[in-house]
Structure 1
């Protein structure tokens, strides 16, 4: 099967909904609409073209980030693997739709502003690593036995 990767720039048209699969994995889904527009050169008016609708599913780390950040009406950029799904409605009518399994989702900063919240990193350890002192001792032992020091030598002046 060929993977088709795509980017859709549009608007979130449904509130994201988080579900849990039977296997226990979380998935967050929403729908996005993307309109094409062009300017009529004769009148200068903007004319709306066709609308692309897509269902988006977010897995793993995207679930919490998208769930905490996006809601219906937000301008969004979605990147991911696209495929069509075919189904039959309750009335027996055959339909098809575009589904995107997202690998990246973010706000469209040409149409909004965003504030980033980054997870805190663990502070650097304050105690020296015992392995580091063992390495220094090993290099010192080599030097005592006439082996060149493996540490960086003093720079030699040029000139």
Structure 2
């Protein structure tokens, strides 16, 4: 099965969170908010579409670098693979989420 590769540009919604697995491997996670904009020729102005909130995680040394340099509101560009994960929430309900397993992330200039 082929991975679905995605590149997203947006703003971090909070400081990137860093934690370590039981094996000591660093992993950072956060959320990127991306809002599409289109130009309305009749109104002669830009209009925002509905925001997409994409959870992401990044592993290894890049996780420590991301957590140390990306804070709330930072405009970023990230590329990685979409992953689907299923789990049971605290109420015992089955949930499925789609997250971005990031290969590269950094400030969008």
Task: Please indicate the TM-score interval, normalised by the length of the shorter structure.
Answer: 0.7 to 0.9
Gaps of 5+ in 2: none
Q: Please, what is the CA RMSD of the aligned residues?
A: 1.8
Which one has the bigger strand percentage?
2
1 CA distance for matches of 2:68 and 2:18?
A: 11
2:30 counterpart of 1:30 = yes
Which residue of 2 is the match for residue 107 of structure 1? 107
Which one has the bigger helix percentage?
1
2 CA distance for matches of 1:69 and 1:54?
A: 19
Q: Determine if contact 1:12/1:31 at 8 Å carries over to the other structure.
A: yes
Cα offsets for 1:36-92 (capped at 9, x unmatched)? 111111011222112211111111121222122110100000111112334454456
Gaps of 5+ in 1: 110-159
Q: Which runs of 4+ in 1 moved over 6 A?
A: none
**Structure of greater relative contact order (alpha carbons < 8 Å, 6+ residues apart):** 2
Q: Give TM-score scaled by structure 1 length.
A: 0.61
Alignment size in residue pairs: 109
Q: Give TM-score scaled by structure 2 length.
A: 0.86
Quick check: which has more Rg, 1 or 2?
1
